[in-house]
Amino acid sequence: MVTTPAIVVAAPSSGSGKTTITTGLIGALRAAGHRVAPFKVGPDYIDPGYHAVAAGRPGRNLDPNLVGEDLIAPLFAHGAAGADIAVVEGVMGLFDGRITDAPGTGAGGSDQLGLGSTAHVATILGAPVVLVVDGSGHSQSLAAVLHGFLSYDASVHIAGVILNRVGSPRHELVLRQACDRVGLPVFGVVRRDPSLAVPSRHLGLIPAAERTEEAVAAVDAMTGHLGAALDLPAIVAAARRRAVADAQPWSPAAAVSPGASATPGGEGADADPAGVPARPVVAVAGGAAFTFGYAEHTEMLTAAGADVVTFDPLTDRLPEHAAGVVIGGGFPEEHAEELSANTGLRADLRAHAAAGRPIHAECAGLLYLAAQLDGHPMSEVLELTGHFGPTLTLGYRDAVAVADSVLFRAGERITGHEFHRSTVAVAPDVEATPAWAWRDAAGRATTHGIVTASVHASYLHVHPAAVPEALHRFVSRAREVETDAGARGMPRAGRSPDGRE
């Protein structure tokens, strides 16, 4: 059995510096010759972007709330393929998970405290934890804090501590003595250095994809600083004491093709007599405005029989022969003027939807399909208006599909995640079919999102590994529409003839 060495980077609370430490650690390990597989606990899209820059391979998420506990170890094994060490950044504080009405007493489980917490994922993987402590507000009492974390849950193995934002040499000495008192080794001491800070805004750090050159420079700085500050051999030795062997790796092909029935169109498949390729083109939005997406998504679309092409809505037209479109999350409000100015793509998307070709839109994608976003014309595929506001909507949702769509069948249940500061309103004279229904924190039934004959759009982020049938359904729909159009002698999918509004 293969056991990939792994270390989980956690903290007592948010704001302790986990992302900087994790990104610098990943970069330093890579610089030392390791092949590092980076992971992030929870639904966050932004931190994995920095991990990917440091590691030179995709950052991936491990979230039991979104995919279920049973998929965590297989997804880890899939993402760690070819690596000799994995680094997993935690979420919030070590034991912070989904808040439920009936907290329990352990690190994981559907009715226990910390479902989806860093501690929960660490126990699933059998991986040791290194605790990042913000030393700026600590002295001798740190020993009591560490004692509490060590004794709180015996299933969680805390292997050592990284002292962050440490001041003077005397401050370091006092903190080291506190760690010695509870028997925890210190794996590194990181001095206070404002130059290591990464710019942030309303939803956290600015995504690496929006500041490519600056992101690379920031990661290089973290790598150099952390490489000098951390005891890499000690961290690697701790990672090698991981207690659980790797699970059978998750497979995108097996997920979307149970019984090898992923519709016709494997690699190298020929076009049918009508000239329609067996592998439809699915265009996935990227670029600075649409940076949110899970690595497994494109892998699963490909496995389901699609040829995936990325396009940038800030500058590009819809890729030629696009039979399906995926527009994920991001920050369209930061790029609304540029998005609005790309009138050719906006016309392409309207023509695409009108032809019955499928579109899957999440969060930012929902806003982009609207008629307007804060007064800026958007694609006008949906009769909605979007507005950016001060209120943060955040949390997991246990949702049920209200109607059949290009992704889901009515009655299908999923767990998704909302994270946005915008709202959308349906035009007063429009009777829209909602995408989802769920109960809010007060138990009141509510509906959300919108579906049409060709569009599924909502704020809800769903992990594709949890809904393989939805991706199979989406690609099958794209292929069917193209096949039908080819049989009737209609033009292939792609751009609007003139690109005008």
pTM: 0.91
- Asked if the model's pLDDT at residue 130 lies above 90, the reply is yes
Is residue 179 part of the annotated active site? The answer reads: no
Assign 40 to helix, strand or coil: strand
pLDDT tens-place string over residues 387-403: 998 888 889 999 999 99
Q: Is the pLDDT of residue 145 over 80?
A: yes
Mean pLDDT of the chain: 89
- Cβ proximity of 356 and 454 under 8 Å: yes
**Is pLDDT of 110 > 70?**
no
Supply the DSSP string of 166-227, one letter for each residue: E-SHHHHHHHHHHHHHTT--EEEEEE--GGG---EETTEEPPGGGSHHHHHHHHHHHHHHHH
CA–CA gap between residue 380 and residue 364 (Å, rounded): 14
- Window from 106-110, 226-230, 374-378 with minimum mean pLDDT: 106-110
Check: CB of residue 208 under 8 Å from CB of residue 50. Answer: yes
Confidence at 193, pLDDT banded by 50, 70, 90: confident
DSSP letter string over 113-174?
TTBT-HHHHHHHHT--EEEEEEGGG-STTHHHHHHHHHHH-TTS-EEEEEEEEE-SHHHHHH
Check whether 96 has a pLDDT greater than 70: yes
pLDDT for position 442: 83
The more confidently predicted of residues 263 and 196 is 196
User: What is the spatial distance between Cα 262 and Cα 476, in angstroms, rounded to a whole number?
Assistant: 9
What pLDDT is recorded for position 492?
A: 55
Instruction: Quote the CA–CA distance of 5 and 267 in Å, as a whole number.
Output: 34
Specify the DSSP class assigned to residue 333: G
Which two three-digit tokens encode residue 371? 């008629």
> What distance in Å separates the CA atoms of residue 283 and residue 311, rounded to the nearest whole number?
7
pLDDT > 70: percent of the chain = 87
Average pLDDT over every residue of 250-261: 78
286 close to 273: Cβ distance less than 8 angstroms: no
The predicted structure's pLDDT at residue 188? 98
Handedness of CA 216, 217, 220, 225 (dihedral sign): negative
Quick: pLDDT tens for 405-434.
Answer: 999 999 999 999 999 889 999 988 888 999
pLDDT at 251: 97
| Distance (Å, whole) CA 426 – CA 380 | 12
Name the helix (H) or strand (E) containing 336.
helix 336-341
pLDDT value, residue 38: 98
pLDDT band, residue 488 (cuts 50/70/90): low
The pLDDT of residue 500 is 46
187 pLDDT more than 80:
yes
- Please tell me which residue in 41, 162, 363, 373 is annotated as part of the active site: 363
Query: Residue 296: is it exposed, middle or buried by C-beta count within 10 angstroms (0-12/13-18/19+)?
Result: buried
CA 305 to chain centre: 23
Measure CA 475 to chain center: 21
Q: Is the pLDDT of residue 202 over 70?
A: no
> Which whole number is the average pLDDT over 475-496?
73
